[in-house]
Amino acid sequence: MIRLFVDADLREGGGIATGAEQTHYLANVMRLRAGDELLAFNGRDGEWLTRVAEISRRGARMELVTLERPQIEGPDLELIVAVVKRARLETIVEKAAELGAQRVVPVATARTNAGHANIARLTAIAVEASEQTGRLDVPEIARQAKLSDILTAWPADRRLMFCDEAGDAAPVAAALAGANAGPWSILIGPEGGFTPAERAAARATPGAVPVNLGPRILRADTAAIAALTLWQAALGDWRGT
């Protein structure tokens, strides 16, 4: 069934009005008509079965029928990733949404060789991936920041899984063994790798856990997918499935 992310509050007896872009998607792409049903979620009020009351070029109006799934909170998992080329960064955001990250933070590092992240575009990708993957929320795409600023202001209650491509860190499975879930971030570097100063700063960050993702050098998008997968398997919500 079609799933639609909306901003409106979702409650019994309520309704949803869609704007031009979502109306075009529902009417012209998915060919919905009055009486058709879909699922709606907003990241706050769970997932609702929704029925199209009317739809036209001007907009669509939908009525809420029943609450299908109550809202649940996923793992507090954040992905901090160096800005890479557009296509690879878009892949990273799409897969981060599919793999359950709550937040993606694009960062500039000393060896970042790409321009600024297009936050609006990345947010749209995160929304689409969340609609397709069945999750009840959409990961936040934070504004681009400097890695040095992120590490300097690191919160004391958050652990940092530092993916260190230098190869002298513990294998990720061993590094995470016995760790508590809680708030975690994963740090992925640029295609040129971290500088020695950045590696030292990341390792010195309170709560940092340097990890090794294996014997091969991975591209940033592959490293992000691998790291998110391994963390979810060790500490995330995959353990209960």
Task: Return the pLDDT at 238.
Answer: 86
The end-to-end CA distance of the chain, in Å, is: 22
Q: Return the pLDDT at 241.
A: 56
**Topology match between the domains 3-69 and 77-240:** no
Q: Decide if pLDDT at 240 tops 80.
A: no
DSSP assignment letter at 240: G
Per-residue pLDDT for 58 more than 90? no
The 3-state DSSP class for residue 10 equals coil
Mean pLDDT of the chain: 94
User: Which CATH number does the domain 77-240 belong to among 3.30.365.10, 3.40.1280.10, 3.20.20.70, 1.10.2020.10?
Assistant: 3.40.1280.10
| pLDDT at residue 168, as a whole number | 84
CATH class belonging to 3-69: mainly beta
Domain locations in the chain? 3-69, 77-240
Residue 132 CB coordination number (10 Å) = 12
Closest listed residue to residue 149, CA positions, set 100, 93, 117, 106: 106
pLDDT tens track for 143-190: 999 999 999 999 999 999 999 987 689 999 999 998 999 999 999 999
Angle at the Cα of 37 from the Cα atoms of 35 and 41, rounded to 5 degrees = 140
pLDDT 10s digits, 199-226: 999 999 999 999 999 999 899 999 999 9
Give CA–CA dist 241/225, Å, rounded: 19
Residue entry with tokens 């090794």? 212
pLDDT tens-digit readout, 77-109: 999 999 999 999 999 999 999 999 999 999 999
162 with 200: CB under 8 angstroms?
A: no
Q: Which two tokens stand for residue 18?
A: 């869609």
Extended beta strands in the chain, E state = 3-5, 15-18, 37-41, 47-56, 59-69, 77-82, 103-108, 140-141, 145-146, 159-163, 170-171, 184-188, 208-212
